[in-house]
């Protein structure tokens, strides 16, 4: 099976702009989680989608949003970009994300590296 893919891999934006990142999960996986990785804060949970619904949300401002499509592909959007949004954005997919099936591994994509100038 193909792994989790993310596009684009690199992105440069300026403050105030908005950005949309895309994540395609492993075929058959229905749960997609998003994480922000920075040197100072490590890996922080943004949100998780399952069956086109946001099931869990982390402690990020409303500028961070996402959605999931019927084919389980997911997008996340960041509006009004700030310098502090520069980070590696990782998505991860799992079969259901809630332990109903085993294993319940989250498989990560390669990430999108966002630089805000």
Partner 1 sequence: GENVEQHPSTLSVQEGDSAVIKCTYSDSASNYFPWYKQELGKRPQLIIDIRSNVGEKKDQRIAVTLNKTAKHFSLHITETQPEDSAVYFCAAGRLYNQGGKLIFGQGTELSVKP
Within residues 3-62, the interface with partner 1 by CB under 8 A covers 31-33, 35, 42-45, 48-50, 55-56, 58-59
CB of 109: closest distance to partner 1 in angstroms? 6
Nearer to partner 1, 26 or 81 (CB): 26
81: tokens are 């970009």
Residues 114 and 11 sit within 8 Å (Cβ to Cβ): yes
Binding site for partner 1 (CB under 8 A): 31-33, 35, 42-45, 48-50, 55-56, 58-59, 90, 94, 96-100, 103-111
């Amino acid at each position: 099976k193909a792994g989790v893919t993310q596009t684009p891999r690199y992105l440069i934006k300026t403050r105030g702009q908005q950005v949309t990142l895309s994540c395609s999960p492993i075929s058959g996986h229905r749960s997609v989680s998003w994480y922000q990785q920075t040197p100072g804060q490590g890996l922080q949970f943004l949100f998780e989608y399952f069956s086109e619904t946001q099931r869990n949300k982390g402690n990020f401002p409303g500028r961070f949003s996402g959605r999931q499509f019927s084919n389980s592909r997911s997008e996340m959007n960041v509006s009004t970009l700030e310098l502090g949004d520069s980070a590696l954005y990782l998505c991860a997919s799992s079969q259901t994300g809630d332990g109903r099936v085993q294993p319940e591994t989250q498989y990560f994509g390669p990430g999108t590296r966002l630089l805000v100038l």
